[in-house]
A and B are shown apart, each in its own frame.
Chain A
Amino acid sequence: MTDEPRPRPIAGGAPAGGAVPEPTFADVNRDVLATLGPPGNLYFAWMCVVGLILACGILAWTYQIYFGMGAAGKRTPQMWAMYITTFVFWIGIGHAGTLISAVLYLFRARWRTSIYRAAEAMTIFAVLTAGLFPLIHAGRMWFAYFLLPYPNQRYLWPNFKSPLVWDVFAISTYLSISTVFFIVGLVPDVAALRDASTGWRRRVFAMLSLGWEGSDRQWRHYRRAYGLFAALATPLVLSVHSVVSWDFAMALVPGWHSTLFAPFFVDGAIFSGFAMVLVLVLPMRHFFGLHAYIRDRHLDAMAKLILVTGLVLTYFYACEAFTSWYSGDHFEKASLFWRLTGSYWWALGTMYFCNCVSPLILFWKPARTSPVILYVVSILVLIGMWFERFNIIVPSLAHDFYPATWGIYVPTITDSTIIIGSFAWFFLLFLGFIKLMPSLSIVEVKETLSAPVKDLRHAGHH
């Protein structure tokens, strides 16, 4: 470590009007590596807050394991409630990452380069968070391994008809593919880190960089592998959330039993995922001064995607209501009517406002590049998408086939704390990530820059 002041990023913080100059290759290395510098007090303050909340969540979970699921507010008829809501929410969040890193890669959408690393990390952390919920949710979580098809002398096997078993496979596949894809993409960047660091860090990065030297052969292999994983991950964008949607669509419950669910869930997932990317990237850009890399046109592109997926989602809402009504099915109609007018009308109203109305502001061009507006819209979208899953699960169950058992779910301190704790867990992982790994892809950012021209910058200095 040197006592020299940290080199300033080329943009030097927020753009003071006017255009941010294009960085050079050297700027990229320097600026990205600068994000890994020793954290300041603000960072530690955030870590403390997040860590405390996580500790509360862990305590609440321990309480629930010890005393029973009764600690969560579930009941007949809502055998599922906020845990599954949040589970689906986090799975959905993950989708934007894969979409950005794999699908946009295959489509050669070059604007993805500056955000895909953060988005990919978000995917993995979101899946890691989501993966907690089946455990949190199970009445006897210590037997959750029964869901795995492991050989045993009792010849017990999971039930492959159950969408929950499909979930196990969908999510584990998703997590493994995403992780491998993430690690492969990191290799050249880690090598750059290795070259820039000393001591034990160097040794760790050396291991992770898998002996990367930047030779042509390595680049060729790298490209092939990356393309292959992108191709492998692409169907997962569609399949994982479709499978998750079948947890509901395969059940009988009015409000769940619908063929609409797979595309509806995938679209919602991308919608919420982009919102989460913005929620993470905007502060990153602000605090690390990465305006030169995460440029307004990137924000604009993401805002457009949010707008489009939001409009598609609105269409799905209309479809859902229409099919319920048009089916003529008494149970479906009663369920829909009750969701609109019953005890949870406010949740449905929140969802419609956040998901259908709030993104409309993005039709206005300046809003698409205004960090404040984008941030507010993204938060609203996240709230709306959480409520979307809540509205599918809780009110549908509250008013299903059998009137004698209709009832209202009321959250408890325990389950609320666990839900909030899951957000803390996610942010803890993400905060850790941005200080340990390059949150911008050095390699890919460089690819989008014009090739270095000798003395260009010197000329500029004169």
Chain B
Amino acid sequence: MNRRDFFKIVATTGATAAAGGCQQATEQILPLVVPNEQLVPGVASWFATVCRECPAGCGVLARNRDGRVVKLEGNPDHPVNGGSLCARGQAALQGLYHPDRFVGPQRREGDAFTPLGWEDALKLVSDRLAAVRSKPRTLAVVSQLETGSLGALLDRWLQALGGRPRLTLEPFGYEAIRAANRATFGRDAVPYHAFEDAEVILSFGADFLETWISNGQAARGFARAHTFRDGKAGTFIHVEPRQSLTASNADEWVRNAPGTETAVALAVLKLMLEGGGTGDKRYADAVAAIEPRKVAEDSGVPLETLQRIARAFGSARPGLAVGGGVAVTGSHATSLQIAVNLLNVAAGNVGKTVRFGPDHAYGRVTPYAEVAKLVQAMAAGEIEVLVLGPGVNPAFTLPGGLKAGEAIAKVPFVVSFANLPDETTALAHLVLPDTHWLESWGDYSPHEGVLGLMQPTMKPVRDARPLGDVLLAAGRAALGTEEGKGPLPWSTFEQYLRSVWEPLVKGQWEAALQQGGLWRDAGAAAVTPKIERVDAAAAKLEGAGDGLALLPYPSLRFYDGRSATRAWLQEVPDPVTQVAWDAWVELNTETAARLGIQRGDVVRVTSPHGAIELPAYPSASIHPAAVAIPIGHHYAPYHVRLKYVPGSGTANPMALLPAAADATSGAPAFLSVKVTLARTGARRPLAVLQATHDQDHREIAQHVELARAREEALRGAAREDARPSMYSEQHYKTYRWGMTVDVDACIGCQACAVACQAENNVPVVGKAEAAYGRQVHWLRVERWADGDPGQPHNTFLPMFCQHCEVAPCEPVCPVFAAYRTEEGLNGQVYNRCVGTRYCGNNCPYHVRRFNWWNYEIPAPLDVQLNPDVTVRQLGVMEKCTMCIQRIVAGKDHARDEKRAVRDGDILTACQQTCPTKAITFGNLKDEGSAVSKQRHSPRAYHVLDELGTRPGVTYLRKVVRAAPASRPGKGHA
């Protein structure tokens, strides 16, 4: 039985157990006094469900121990994420167990909430609903993207009650892609981008490794296309004014002037056509007006670079051009997407790497223009009852110019189903907390052919009821119908869900639950491109002439803000800037010098629509004419208890944006204002968790040129770690555990860091402590930058305990708390540790973490603690254990089958969640194991090898494309 079968079997038993007992809203965190016979104490059950932290809809397996979910992992069978899970998905547990979660229905009186019973709350709602039935179109429902049964039920409910059509509010709707596809292909859809099949990926601001459409899926595909394997590696060129995480991973990051993406794309197309390509005259006409030399001048991208891009993209079989990340979505967004379409069409990529059918669920997001209309209707007093589903926070996520908060405040009755307080619940009259998605039934289809099925993975942590159940009951009461009759006959949402799924599963309900849904081949749709001239105009920017273009971009960690309440995500730093906790305004060092701004100075950013105050983060890489602010930073009351005190006012750059939608696509124009910066005189030092990105010639992050890597791979030149020693070798009986990290594959997404935190009970320490080098992360992802600081070559390096064979930490420990195990691990006995911290000084990698305080884990977050891992006490040292608890479980499992541990029996938490499969764990004694093979790869190296520590963790050099002359910094001989 392999691991997947194991999951399936336990998921079945678990699912049956859950199906039995999840209807009643008995709220007990340790639920079972008389144990359910299927629940074995100490043995985990795994439940398959769908992650609802963003619209990507990744499959999730929830690990349930003794009635409590303690860890999430990607569902290996799921077509979208194939077992990986991003940082936000990993941190969903902190939403489930959030200390600020509402307990039962809450009625707002003044600024404070008072609890009330469910019956009273339901009566309040149904009375209101009954009252507005006579006034059509005064009832509005706003939900997040719900492509499954809940959406259908909401629509049906609205129809029955005579409300307005449901609004799906997704702040990042990628409407320009749909608009462009309507224009080019006559299809209103977001297609599937097959990154995995592309030889050359050319991106115009599409931050597909962060949030763009389906970042987990894109990262998996990108890794397959781009990671060096069998002597081959794809090329990735990224055009963006700011060095985003995606740009940091590009082989060539091209910095263009903000808003010039369309012109650059068209110039590339023109140069590509000039260099050969199709003889189709329509293309030549489409780009006839483009003068590459002029484009080069306007965009600041040298002509040679444009030519190089054109050559590379034109020769790729196939390539893939993508465009339009949020930060570059302005008035030119649709023309950019059309230009991207033309590039893909001209290069023959449509149908290969750009596939219509399966279309992405984003195609069903309500256009922003409709949302704006509803807000206007609210402001005009046309809405009597506003129902807000979970996951929507219009007062925070909509452009400030729209004044959505003021509009909502004018609605006489606002019901919110959010389970955590936010800017919008502060305006709601009634909060009926929905169950968290890990406690709920449901389904979600991220794209055609993938029907994800959700089931409760545990009983609700707090008094909460499923949105569907509440609406059914309230709707029936308002309509005066009974259960089983009328338009809303179902007693519960689960019943409705089953009735919808019955024709699909045909009795195989439990099989679908185990698998996490149904996957089918979606029919590919043939499309005929229409080739027309494209307007190459740059994005129109509103505001002072000498202002700086504002690039608001979705945070990799918080998406539009819905994940920001998770303290794990607040503390794991942004991978590029390495800033934790705070939001910041990134500006060019030249601009900063001109304005006398230093890192940490609070700067007032003023646009024609608003102003916010944020600490400054000068960087050499951002375009001098731009400033960038991450979207989504806001904080929960729990964060204040962690001694994080946010600055006054919002930190969200959405507050600076205009209300108007872009005329062609109907999308909000994110890149649409120029801002001015002014020092306020205040200081708010940022928590930057990496002291420097310059490795000072220490060869920590190493690289090798593609040609050389290819040659070495062919020759199979193995590098042995043959450092002579006076001492006898350590002998290992059966196992020597080791890891390899393919630095070429690592994209720096921080998923591993959060997974580690979730698995190993790593505490959150708060901003001040983290800024002072006291974060407890066992695993940190470092960004090392070589070369010109303005256009650095970046390498992301996950750093954790290296489990050295000759470990500097071990001999210095006076009490043997740090010791070497027989299986090659560097053990740490917490009970023995006295806290002299000598090991922490002597570890050259500084991966040992000290418990400076007793870290508070407020209830009910403590329920999430992994029962297999010790919670450490004040005054002891800790560090990565290579998930020793998983090693023990894996060995037990193998022993039960009377065999040795094989590859795949044990996956460490970081390895399991990695979307690019950069981390490999296994037995170094077994020459056939994947980890042994990688350890003997020609690309293998050890960090700070010259110290003779003989680490158990091997890194594989990053493979770089650039010629050596253009790449200063140290390559390894």
Give me the interface of A with B, judged by CB distance under 8 Å: 67-70, 74-77, 79-80, 134, 137-141, 143-144, 146-147, 156-159, 161-165, 168, 247, 250-253, 330-331, 334, 397, 400-407, 410
Contact = CB atoms under 8 A, between A and B. Distances in A.
Contact of B876 (A140, A141, A147): A140
Contact of B832 (A75, A76, A156, A164): A156
Nearest to B696: A403
Given A68-B853, A69-B850, A159-B815, A251 B842 contact: yes
Interface in B685-718: 690-692, 694-698, 700
Contacts of B772: 75, 407, 410
B846 A76 contact: yes
A126 B845 CA distance: 36
Nearest to B846: A405
B805 to A, nearest CB: 15
A406 B692 contact: yes
Nearest to B816: A159
B726 interface: no
Given A75-B772, A159-B815, A143 B834 contact: yes
Interface stretch (B540-548, B752-760, B806-814): B806-814
A372 B166 CA distance: 89
Nearest to A161: B811
Interface residues of B, number: 50
Contact of A403 (B694, B812, B841, B849): B694
B137 interface: no
A164 B773 contact: no
Given A69-B835, A139-B834, A406-B692, 6 more contacts: A75-B773, A76-B848, A141-B835, A143-B834, A147-B834, A402-B846
Contacts of B844: 252, 400-402
B43 to A, nearest CB: 30
Given A144-B834, A147-B834, A251-B838, A139 B874 contact: yes
A162 B875 CA distance: 19
Nearest to B842: A251
The 5 closest A-B pairs by CB, nearest first: A139-B835, A139-B875, A70-B852, A79-B837, A79-B840
Contacts of A410: 772
Contacts of A69: 835, 850, 852, 874-875
Given A68-B851, A70-B853, A139-B835, A405 B691 contact: yes
Contacts of A138: 834-836, 875
- Mostly, the B contact residues are loop
B814 A147 contact: yes
A404 B853 contact: no
A306 B334 CA distance: 81
A331 B944 CA distance: 11
A164 B835 CA distance: 12
Contacts of B873: 140
B812 A330 contact: no
Interface in B815-839: 815-816, 832-838
B41 to A, nearest CB: 29
A403 B699 CA distance: 11
A75 B691 contact: no
Contacts of A147: 814-815, 834
Contacts of A253: 841-842
A76 B843 CA distance: 11
5 contacts: A251-B812, A253-B841, A404-B692, A405-B691, A407-B772
Contacts of B815: 146-147, 156, 158-159
Given A140-B875, A159-B813, A404-B782, A70 B769 contact: yes
B813 A162 contact: yes
A147 B815 CA distance: 6
Contacts of B947: 252, 401
Nearest to A72: B852
Given A252-B842, A404-B780, A74 B852 contact: yes
Contacts of B814: 146-147, 158-159, 162, 164-165, 168
A403 B698 contact: yes
A140 B835 contact: yes
Contact of A146 (B780, B811, B834, B877): B834
B799 interface: yes
Contacts of B813: 159, 162
A346 B311 CA distance: 56
A168 to B, nearest CB: 8
A247 B812 CA distance: 9
Contacts of A330: 697-698
Contacts of B842: 251-253
A164 B850 contact: no
Residue of B837, B851, B876, B947 with highest tally of chain A CB at under 10 A: B837
Contacts of A77: 773, 840-841, 846
B773 A76 contact: yes
Contacts of B697: 330
